[in-house]
A and B are shown apart, each in its own frame.
Chain A
Amino acid sequence: MNAIATGTDPILEIDGLRTEFRLRGGTITAVNDLDLTIRPGETVALVGESGSGKSVTSLSVMRLLARKVGAIAAGSVRFRGKDGTVRDLVTLDEESMRQVRGNDIAMVFQEPMTSLNPVYTIGDQISEPMRVHQGTPKGEAWDAAVALLEKVGIPDPRRRAGQYPHELSGGMRQRATIAMALACDPMLLIADEPTTALDVTIQAQILELMQALQRDTGMGMLFVTHNLGVVAEIAHRVAVMYAGRLIEDGPVREVFRNPRHPYTVGLLKSMPKLGDATRMKKAGETLNAIPGMVPSLRNLPSGCSFAPRCSYAIDACRAAVPPLAAVSENHHSRCIRWQEVRP
């Protein structure tokens, strides 16, 4: 684990991404000037408190933002497809983008209870991407779906394929949605808090499964979570978001051992110990040991958004948004006092 990414060309290069929502009472910037790179076989964890823009980032890559409300305002998302050509997904026409979805980039969502269609069988829903993208005949796609169910560890897959979502447990359903995402052998898997809705033992099983599948397929993975324990377990690199901006990124081991942004330090301090997760889930707690509140995107403080909660904050922090400083070659921090930050 935590191996430094291989030297191969990136499959995904997000550059200066800015996503806005036009709402009553003004425009908010949910993702601001975000850079992120993912290489084949690499898992990048996107972490941050609720509302920091993690889901919006994933949906921007997929171009699945709520139409009319949300739109990518700036930046590029260069993606290297199965055929090796690199294209900017931001400017891709809708039909080509549709062919990317579920085929080159697949997605697993947070809620296994609601992300499967209640009126179609599991087998039907898993075979759909193959029918849509590869024109696989129905029977053949069904057999492939059964094989996929077996691959994600569902016992008695042939019977399960014929069942409806409500006949499966939460963990089973999440395995089924993972099988669905893998149907077309994607280059990149985006998982938006895939284990958050599950209880701890199931959570661990699903993480293990996703790791194993990634090793087998060599796909890249963008793993969205607000749980640093999960990050430590699954990711090679981590990117921390705060109020729509990336504030620190780097290899997991390095960031965990040597965090260079006060917010990351706070997150790590509030990281639940083993076994705490259940307690916290029961009590409805989240990572909240940092004093103060996440600022509203509607009126962000000037300069560094974290400054009002930060014990290191000085006037310069409030004057301008700090640039991403290079701590080392692949470790960055958006803090002007990163050298002074103590873990």
Chain B
Amino acid sequence: MLRYTLHRLLIGAGMLLALSVLIFILLRLTPGDPIDAYIDPNVAISQEEMAALRTRLGLDQPLPVQYFAWLSQAVQGNLGYSIQRFDQTVAGLIAQRMGPTLLLMAAGLTIAIVVGITAGVIGAIRRNTLPDLSLSVLALVGISSPAFLTALLGLYVFSVRLHWTPSGGMLTPATPFSLLDLLHHLILPAIVLSVGYTSLIMRYTRASMLEVLNQDYVRTARAKGVKEFWVIVKHTLRNALLPVVTLIGSTIGLAVGGAIFIETVFNWPGMGLLLVDAVGTRDYPVIMGATLVIGAAVIVVNILTDLTYAVVDPRIKVA
């Protein structure tokens, strides 16, 4: 187990390094000079001043040198300063925005996991009945609806028409903090975020349950006189969840993408909104920092998934 963990950590570190190189290169490949962002186009600036600025920012160095300079600072937690908000460090900005994003994702994932697994189990044990067929149709709709559609539809119905939920933001401005207010703002974006995921988890769980229900060891459990509830939960679901765990872990990157989008639609003050704003204003340090942190988070989650898998499935340990 220890070797397995170290192995996974090493691979994760490699991936992170590759990611950082990729981010760096991609940003330098985009058209436009990073120096432009620092200059006010309405103020005349001499070539000497420009060169001096370049030197001060290190932009006159060869790319690899620039990369290592950036990386060595980054690993110490220094991601530089925002170009647009001079007073703020990138790390500080990210720290502020991390919480809301984590909250949104946690809420969305929790809904997806609880609803998806429950619906999948019901579909499997009631297969080909009306409840199963209705759930399957819902899942199909859920998977095939693009996020912008669900988001806009959700906003229109629950916010504009029914006035059940606010149309954006995380808290009502100029009021004291209340948990209820937070949940009120959270519920709609979280559900919208969870729709596709719920459907995916449901379909996986259902298929996996059906497969496991046919296994000999499930029949053995029944032959032992185990109560049907426990036959399902202990002997079937536990095994059926193994591929679902992998699914959840390996698609978490997709959920991050979804969250970024949903944050912009619902004006949710998280990493996604930060990133989108930064892209709009060419705030390179923020783009790089945010992408790096998001990427690192995805990699860490994937490692955790693999380790969880090894804990749930005793057969992995030998590998």
Q: Which residues of A contact B (CB under 8 A)?
A: 62, 64, 98-103, 106-107, 109, 111, 114-119, 128-129, 132-133, 164, 166, 177, 180
Contact = CB atoms under 8 A, between A and B. Distances in A.
Contacts of A133: 225
Interface in B301-319: 312-315, 318
B217 A102 contact: no
Contacts, number: 69
Contacts of B238: 119
B5 interface: no
A248 to B, nearest CB: 29
A102 B224 contact: yes
19 contacts: A62-B223, A98-B228, A99-B225, A100-B225, A101-B225, A102-B223, A102-B225, A109-B216, A109-B219, A109-B220, A114-B216, A114-B217, A116-B217, A118-B314, A119-B238, A119-B313, A128-B221, A166-B314, A177-B220
A132 B223 CA distance: 12
A117 B239 contact: yes
B215 interface: yes
A167 to B, nearest CB: 8
Contacts of A128: 221, 224, 226
B227 interface: yes
B223 A111 contact: no
A126 to B, nearest CB: 10
A117 B221 contact: yes
Nearest to A177: B220
A147 B238 CA distance: 28
Nearest to A68: B128
B222 interface: yes
Contact of A114 (B215, B223, B228, B315): B215
Interface in B261-319: 312-315, 318
B235 interface: yes
Given A129-B224, A164-B315, A180-B224, 17 more contacts: A64-B222, A64-B223, A98-B225, A101-B223, A102-B224, A103-B225, A107-B220, A109-B219, A114-B216, A115-B219, A115-B220, A117-B239, A119-B239, A119-B314, A132-B226, A133-B225, A166-B318
Nearest to B226: A132
Given A117-B235, A118-B314, A119-B313, A101 B224 contact: yes
Given A98-B227, A100-B225, A64 B219 contact: yes
B70 to A, nearest CB: 46
Contacts of A180: 220, 224
